[in-house]
Amino acid sequence: MGSGRFGFSRLESREGGLDLQIATIDGSAGCGKSSVARELAACCGGRMFSSGRVYRALTWLALETGVAFPDRDRVLSLLKEDPLEIVAGSDTFWVEVNGIDPGSVLYSTRVTGEIHHVSDDPEVRRTVLPLQRNLPVDRPVFAEGRDMGTVVFPDAPVKIFLTASVEERARRRQLEFRDSLGEEISVEEVRKKLVKRDTSDSEREVSPLKAAADAELIDTTTLTVEEVVSKIMERIPRAWNRGPTGSTS
């Protein structure tokens, strides 16, 4: 299936509100949000949306263009000079900068270490909010992030908040850095970075990391991705399940 690019305010139903076939999966880094959202999309024939790619793409762009953090005005100007686009594929969304997908470099320690300058900025978050909501409505969306259920999609009928011990989260992220990015970093160093990021995410002025009042909390510390997906699938409306190919037949 081909890809598509979408403009602002696309994520509106015929009644004028947010499309209802949206499940939000929020939580701290290393809780399994991405893996779970990806598997849910595969099970239901939907698409996975990782909101962090928006902030990572902007952070990467700032680093590539020599922005000296923190420089809010320059970061905000980049959104006008080098517009970000959310592109829809058959089972996921990705973010392009001037038509280019930066790829796995968005998850490098270089970007991860500086992303807080972008994601913690209230004005940046307000500016990219319409972009995050810019998704098509032709199939279920499984949106993962930190404020999907509280700010971006507050009317989503299915909201999940994942947790896990910091030790387990550090172990998972260390493996991710090593296996996916080829970066060697100790578990203890990863743990320290996670604790720092947790504090930053929870205490920021706009869109702090917290569970929506109507979200189901799932501790993934001792669970496999498949077990977490199974729990969430119990809450997914039958009408959403289009099968693994997204077919309605």
Compute the average pLDDT of residues 131-143: 87
Is 243 among the domain residues?
no
| CATH code, 29 | 3.40.50.300
Query: Is residue 112 a part of any domain in this protein?
Result: yes
177 lies in a domain? yes
pTM listed for this prediction: 0.86
- H/E run at residue 93: strand 93-97
Question: Whole domain around residue 186: which residue ranges?
Answer: 18-229
pLDDT digits (tens, 9 = 90+) for 92-130: 999 999 899 999 999 998 998 899 999 989 999 999 999
Question: Is residue 205 included in any domain, yes or no?
Answer: yes
- Backbone φ and ψ of 242, nearest 5°: -95, 5
Residue 38 located in a structural domain: yes
2 located within any domain: no
Report percent pLDDT > 90 for the chain: 67
- Residue 189's pLDDT is 93
The torsion angles phi and psi of 53, rounded to 5 degrees, stand at -65, -30
Asked whether residue 1 is domain-assigned, the answer is: no
The domain total for the chain is: 1
Any domain includes 43: yes
Which tokens belong to 125? 């978050």
